[in-house]
Structure 1
Amino acid sequence: MPFSTEILTPIRVLYLDDDAGLGVLVKKALARRGHNVVPVVNSAQAFECLAQGGFDVMALDHSMPGETGLDVLARLGPRSERLPVVYVTGSADARLALQAIRAGADEYVIKDTATEFYDLLIAAIENVTERWRLKRQKAEDEQAVREARDRAELLLQEVNHRVANSLGLVAAMVRMQSAALADPAAIAALQETQARITAIAGVHRRLYTSDRIGLVEVDDYLEHLVGELQASLADEEHPYPIRLSAERLTIKTDKAVSLGVIVGELVTNAFKYAYEAGATGDIRVSVQQQAPAAVIILTVEDDGKGFDPQSASQGTGLGSKILAAMATSLKATVAYVPRPSGTCVTVTFPLD
């Protein structure tokens, strides 16, 4: 069998065969290819050499006094914890070859006195060693990729943590500023600004506490957001509880930001305009998936005096512009559902 003339990395081979003379011949044949063979004549010597380490592959004869190569294979342990093995035997019985492969051997060579045996053994040893080298290299590369990914995820979580903290600080400063004002219009404008900041901060807070990078659990996120809106908007004149019903859904970060801002705008409008002064009522927010269309439906509703979407804006109109921009980002459809009393707004957008 012809061999490549390329320069090979020397292979250190442990050759177990009770025929000491053949061991010497194998050592000489592999030495001509630049490889180093340590021949041993029994399994006790073999395991002693293996304990010392430094071998790349083991060639294992089948027939030995008191045991077989299959017995030695069983004692070597699982493939992940041992050297690659080339099984050598004088039998041409295919059943023995299959038995050896099933027992964990990586290659099988028939032993005879012809020169071809040495060529086949060399080829088997070199092929097995190269396959295992590639396997180890692949495992090392995959481990390096996993470690790099883990480092990137930790870094991203830290970034989200810092962004959430910074936005939380900004929201707190806006709250303090609104508390120092007497102008109702200015206070309302700052409250709206705080709600928008809170919506975005909540996304980053969910991201750095989640194991799923780039994805947000809608129910957890909205529960936190609704709590923040309740704390910032509710007062003696607007004592309306916000009631949330949200399915367990996962969406991407950019969708979560848009969804949060939309919820903030609609809830803020409901607090400001839904009920007459002194009236009681609640504001309801629900999120559900519509199957099989794979769309999400956000609903914000109240039992107040109602709203005509064709009427002129009661404020600056900024909220309507932000709502339209976020809806465009979500590729969403915004609809005002007719009803005898109160206001019901639905926002429908694709899940993917």
Structure 2
Amino acid sequence: MFHPIANIEDAQTLAQAIVNTIVEPFLVLDENFRVLAANRSFYQTFRVDPEQTHGSLLYALGDGQWDIPALHLLLETIIPEKTAMDGFEVEHDFPDIGRRTMLLNARKVLYDHSSAATILLAFNDITARRAIEREKEELLGRTEDLLRQKDVLLREMEHRVANSLQIIASILLLKARSVTSDETRQHLKDAHQRVLSVAEVQRHLHASTGADEIEVGSYLSKLCSSLAASMIGETQAIAVNVMAENGRIDSQKAVSLGLIVTELVLNAIKYAFSTEKVDALILVTYETDAEDWKLTVSDNGWGKPVGDIPGAGLGTAIVEALVKQLEARIDTVTGNTGTTIAVTRATFTSRMPKAA
């Protein structure tokens, strides 16, 4: 059963107890902004004397340190119009405690049987929070600056790598022309072509915006187009087509796939069509199924037994190493209608056609 408070002294005692229970600094002001009550947190936080606080004008507390323009605006302009305000931010340099940032919550209490009004004012010190936010903003700014620097350095490195690869390729070609051994000359030409292949993969990755992820269809199409333009002679017309499902792959995977495709396409160009063939075709397909994928390079050349494929030594070793790195497997099917080499991650049922 509810028992009303018998007298005003008991009501004041209860009110002061409630005020002291509030954890954040808290003030009760009259309509003239004089302090009617303050809690312990207010005295401890702002280091003011209780005897000099009670009954004093808020703006005069602490030798005028509370004479804050933003506080005038809140109490004299905003509160009379709205009667309530939450999250009003005030920043001020207090002589005893230093610079503080506070969120003020204010309420104007009106009474039914009196023209007097009371203002409740609560302070939430967010100085530490704002300091952390500023540190995070500064850290973010420095991080963005470092990322810009990294991007510039990466582009410079890519440019130098491309130039270095071109120089190495040129040296290998010059050396191949100067040696007398046909076998050594062929090895040097193969090395020259592989360096160019690496340079081609690197060039396409460099041209891709975003760097972290590559659009696989566009990437393989441009790569194969470049390989065909540089390797297919006028005496034998060989079409190199690409069929790839939409999707993006990370740059590291793109490098490995690009080198595999380069090796297999070059091998098909050089060995699949030992004699001229009408409608000669090399088809590169790429399919995905969630995390699984399948890369296939097939041709409609004359085909030979797997163990009798020319140049299968170093090229096969390179491809097998890359396939192992991708945690995939490689399968080769060859016959008199052509050769199909499939690189598959996990179990995958192909939906793409083969060269025919």
Question: In structure 2, do the counterparts of structure 1 residues 182 and 144 end up closer, same or farther at CA, with 3 Å as the change threshold?
Answer: same
Question: Of residues 119, 137, 143 in structure 2, which corresponds to 1:111?
Answer: 119
| Deviations, residues 14-50 of structure 1 (Å, cap 9, x unaligned) | xxx9836569632444x38xx943345997xx4xxxx
Letter in 2 for 1:150: R
1:37 to 66, 70, 74: 66
Task: Name the SS for the 1:337 alignment partner.
Answer: strand
Looking at structure 2, the residues matched to 60 and 193 of structure 1 have their Cα atoms a distance apart, in angstroms, of: 84
1:210 to 1:233, Cα distance in 2 relative to 1, 3 A: closer
* Cα distance in 2 between the residues matched to 1:200 and 1:89: 72
Residue by residue over 1:306-347, the C-alpha shift from the partner in whole angstroms, topping out at 9 and shown as x without a partner, is 1212x2453472222222212211222111235661111111
Is 1:167 aligned with 2:165? yes
* Unaligned segments of structure 1, at least 5 residues: 5-16, 47-57, 77-82, 94-109
1:209 counterpart = 2:217 = no
Deviation at 1:172, TM superposition (A): 4.9
Residue of structure 1 aligned with 2:104, choices 69, 86, 94:
86
Higher strand share: 2
SS in 1 for 2:284: strand
**Secondary structure of the equivalent of 2:269?**
helix
- Matched residue, 2:352: none
Deviation at 1:248, TM superposition (A): 3.3
Alpha carbons 1:298, 1:346 under 8 Å: kept: yes
Residues 1:28 and 1:211: Cα distance change in structure 2 (over 3 Å): farther
- Structure 1 residue 183: deviation in Å? 7.5
Structure 2 residue 324 is the aligned partner of structure 1 residue 328: yes
Aligned residue-pair number? 287
Following the alignment from structure 1 to structure 2, what is the Cα–Cα distance between the partners of residues 302 and 238?
14
The CA deviation string for residues 221-245 of structure 1, in whole angstroms up to 9 with x for no partner, is 3233223322332224444232222
Q: Structure 1's 225 and 63: CA in aligned 2 closer, same or farther, altered over 3 A? A: closer
**Aligned with residue 299 of structure 2, among 277, 294, 302:** 302
Q: Using the alignment, how far apart are the partners of 1:91 and 1:158 within structure 2?
A: 67
Aligned to 1:26: 58
Alpha-carbon distance change, 137 to 176 in structure 1, aligned in 2, over 3 angstroms: same
* Aligned with residue 243 of structure 1, among 230, 241, 249: 241
Distance 2:65 2:206 in 1: 54
Match of 1:68 among 59, 64, 82: 82
Residue 323 of structure 2 aligns with an amino acid whose one-letter code is: A
Q: Is the Cα contact below 8 Å between 1:218 and 1:246 reproduced in 2? A: yes
* C-alpha contact 2:85 2:105 (8 A) present in aligned 1: no
Aligned partners of 1:238 and 1:271 also within 8 Å = no
Instruction: Give the whole-Å Cα distance in 1 for the aligned partners of 2:70 and 2:274.
Output: 99
| Root-mean-square deviation over aligned CA pairs | 4.3
Partner residue of 2:151? 153
AA aligned to 1:138 is: K
**Cα distance, 1:174 vs structure 2:** 4.5
* AA at the equivalent of 1:141: L
More deviation, 162-171/318-327: 162-171
Would the aligned equivalents of 1:60 and 1:69 in 2 still touch at CA under 8 Å?
no
- Asked if structure 1 preserves the Cα contact closer than 8 Å seen for 2:79 and 2:107, the reply is yes
SS class of match (2:147): helix
% same residue: 26
Q: Are 1:345 and 2:341 counterparts?
A: yes
Relative to structure 1, is the Cα distance of residues 183 and 226 closer, same or farther in structure 2, using a 3 angstrom cutoff? farther
Following TM superposition, by how much is the alpha carbon of 1:199 offset from its aligned partner in structure 2, in angstroms?
3.3
Structure exhibiting the larger radius of gyration computed from Cα positions: 2
* Residue 180 of structure 1: how far off its partner (Å): 7.5
In the alignment, structure 1 residue 221 sits paired with structure 2 residue 219:
yes
Paired residues of 1:84 and 1:129 also in contact (CA < 8 A) = yes
CA contact 1:19–1:41 (8 Å) conserved in 2: no
Residue in 1 aligned with 2:95?
Answer: none
Residue equivalent to 1:49: none
Distance in 2, matches of 1:37 and 1:307, equals: 94
* Mapped partners of 2:194, 2:180: distance in 1: 22
CA distance in 2, matches of 1:206, 1:139: 36
Match of 1:106 in 2: none
Give the gaps of 5 or more residues in structure 2.
Answer: 1-19, 24-29, 36-52, 91-100, 112-117, 348-356
Question: Measured at CA, do residues 204 and 279 of structure 1 come closer, stay the same or move farther in structure 2, by a change above 3 Å?
Answer: closer
1:279 shift after superposition:
3.0
Which residue identity lines up with residue 295 of structure 1 in the other structure? D
Q: Shift in Å at residue 274 of structure 1?
A: 1.0
Q: Which amino acid aligns with 1:38?
A: D
Deviation at 1:137, TM superposition (A): 3.2
- Mapped pair 1:268 → 2:255: no
Amino acid of the structure 1 residue aligned with 2:315? G
